[in-house]
Amino acid sequence: MARDGDGRMGLWMTGALVVGTMIGAGIFMLPVSLAPLGRNAVAAWFVSSAGALCIAATLARLSRLGGDGIQANVERELGALPGFLTAWAFWVSNWVAQAATAIAGASALSWLDPALSGPGFVIPVAVAAVASLTAVNAAGARASGGMSILTVAVKLLPLLAVVLILGLRAAGPASYEPLAPAPFSVQNLAAGVALTFFALTGFENATTPVDKVRDPARTIPRAILGGTLLVALLYLLSSTAVQLLLPAKTAAASAAPFADVIAGRWGPRVAALAALAIAVAAFGCLNGLILATGELGYAMGLRRDLPAVLAWTRGAGTPVGAQLAGAALSILLILANSSRATNSLFSFIILLSTAAVLVVYTAGALAAWRLDGSARGRAIVVVALLFILFAAYGSGAEANGWCVALLAAGLAVRFLVRLAPTAGPSRAASIRPARR
């Protein structure tokens, strides 16, 4: 990433980091889950955007006052056990997001041939994608870096295309498709918030490299808020465009709703290119998630929060053990839920990932409350926590139940690891998030 003359990132580069991290692959399948919610989905984008901004502001203040990553600040302010649960939940949310991203990519590929639609094609391809890209990452981060850079622009094209089509429809005589007639209710709105918030996570990435940002006290909050607003606006426009351009039942059953919108305007050949672009973007995001999940697991292995095998590296320090563990868990999650329809499987997995990352944000907000005694800072924390509770409610009993079980499993794993003798002191390592 380009930097200014003193080697530190300014506002534009830090903002680009926020935007690049937030724009992932989940948005391309979200209209499928949101379509049955009708106007609740549109309202959910506004609520999620406001909640994301409050959480982002909270984490930005935490980073400015604490000077470290989320886990380090939580551990310092709340103790070692909350610090571990923060890191564990972060790790869980990443390998769960691997599964969701792999499904999004496989589903986009299935659009190319209607005969391939359904779990019979999507699940094997998703599993193969996780396995093969883990092998790519095991070759070293350098091998995967080019793919991540290549997919940044590719991800934007389908989003901008449907927004353009919406504008063209507005300028013509044709009318919009009616939204699904779902009643506007707290339950439906909460479900929409939990789904849409999955796509908005990642803004916290800018709070990590504090020492690499010029004037972080001013730059980081402005970059986070500006970048989050930009991505939220793009997602609101593109997702709503799909709802207004496709019949609700068509969108809910689509393998690639963005490609369906493009096919209706510019024909199947252009739509096929869009579906391929979405698949490439999804697998590029998956590649980055595998890399990030490996770094997360490696850091926890060094700290003796996870088994030492996760700290196994090869070559130039590639965390092969942690990458393999994350991939295995992601594949197991896909296979364990393979009886679900593709759309239902995707919705469940992103809700589980959301439930896990909400644990991270809760811990960060509580640490910020301890660290920042100002009335303004605590008011933002209160709003952020209220949003987190609402999003957790929207995630549903099943996803939250899985999340609680996984947190309990994490505590058990840590207890067993700490019982074993160690050859030396554990080493601290920083934890970074990734795009979804």
pLDDT tens readout for residues 24-60: 888 999 999 999 999 999 999 999 999 998 998 888 7
With 0-12 CB in 10 A as exposed, 13-18 as middle and 19+ as buried, what is 289?
buried
What dihedral do alpha carbons 123, 126, 127, 131 form, nearest 10°?
170
What pLDDT shows up at residue 218? 75
What pLDDT shows up at residue 422? 63
Domain presence at residue 164: yes
Residue 264: enclosing H or E segment and its boundaries? helix 257-266
- Phi, psi dihedral angles at 208 (to 5 degrees): -80, -50
List the domain range (segments joined by +) for residue 51. Answer: 17-419
Q: Could you tell me the CA-to-CA distances from 7 to 17, 189, 204, 213 in Å, in that order?
A: 15, 44, 21, 9
Domain presence at residue 1: no
What pLDDT shows up at residue 423? 52
Query: Smallest Cα–Cα separation from 137: which of 106, 199, 94?
Result: 94
DSSP state letter for 9: B
Only one residue has tokens 């698949």, namely: 279
| Residues 182 and 38 sit within 8 Å (Cβ to Cβ) | yes
**Partners of 213 in the β-ladder:** 9
pLDDT grade for 219, boundaries at 50, 70 and 90 = confident
Is 181 in a helix, a strand, or coil? coil
Domain count, the chain: 1
pLDDT tens readout for residues 343-398: 899 999 999 999 999 999 999 999 999 988 889 989 999 999 999 999 999 999 99
pLDDT grade for 203, boundaries at 50, 70 and 90 = confident
Residue 33's CATH number: 1.20.1740.10
Amino acid at 97: A
Domain presence at residue 436: no
Provide CB contacts within 8 A for 260, sequence distance 6+. Answer: 111, 246, 250, 251, 254, 271
Which is higher by pLDDT, 386 or 153?
386
Average pLDDT of every residue of the chain? 86
What pLDDT shows up at residue 431? 47
Query: Smallest Cα–Cα separation from 313: which of 141, 146, 432?
Result: 141
Name the CA radius of gyration of the chain, rounded. 21
| Residues 15 and 92 sit within 8 Å (Cβ to Cβ) | no
Is 173 in a helix, a strand, or coil? coil
**Partners of 314 in the β-ladder:** 318
Provide CB contacts within 8 A for 269, sequence distance 6+. Answer: none
Give the tokens for residue 297. Answer: 């697991």
- Taking 50 as the threshold, does the pLDDT of residue 428 lie above it? no
Domain presence at residue 49: yes
| This prediction's pTM | 0.88
Domain presence at residue 7: no
With 0-12 CB in 10 A as exposed, 13-18 as middle and 19+ as buried, what is 308?
middle
Q: Could you tell me where the beta strands, DSSP code E, fall in 82-230?
A: none
Domain presence at residue 317: yes
Only one residue has tokens 């999804």, namely: 282
Distance CA 168, CA 406 (A): 47
- One-letter-per-residue 3-state SS of 21-55: HHCCCHHHCHHHHHHHHCHHHHHHHHHHHHHHHHH
For residues 388-415, one letter each, b for 16 or more C-beta atoms within 10 angstroms of the residue's C-beta and e for the rest, the string is: bebbbbbbbeebbebbeebbeebeeebe
What pLDDT shows up at residue 227? 83
Only one residue has tokens 């009318």, namely: 175
Give the tokens for residue 250. Answer: 């068509």
Domain presence at residue 72: yes
- Taking 50 as the threshold, does the pLDDT of residue 144 lie above it? no
- Taking 80 as the threshold, does the pLDDT of residue 229 lie above it? yes
Distance CA 117, CA 261 (A): 17
What pLDDT shows up at residue 78? 93
Q: Percentage of the chain surpassing pLDDT 70?
A: 87
pLDDT tens readout for residues 119-138: 889 999 999 999 999 998 77
Distance CA 270, CA 275 (A): 9
Only one residue has tokens 């991290």, namely: 21
Distance CA 104, CA 281 (A): 10
Distance CA 239, CA 31 (A): 6
Distance CA 61, CA 70 (A): 11
Domain presence at residue 373: yes
- Taking 80 as the threshold, does the pLDDT of residue 433 lie above it? no
Q: DSSP letters of 281-319?
A: HHHHHHHHHHHHHHHHHHHHHHTTSS-GGGG--BTTTB-
pLDDT tens readout for residues 290-344: 888 998 899 899 989 999 999 998 877 889 999 999 999 999 999 999 889 888 9
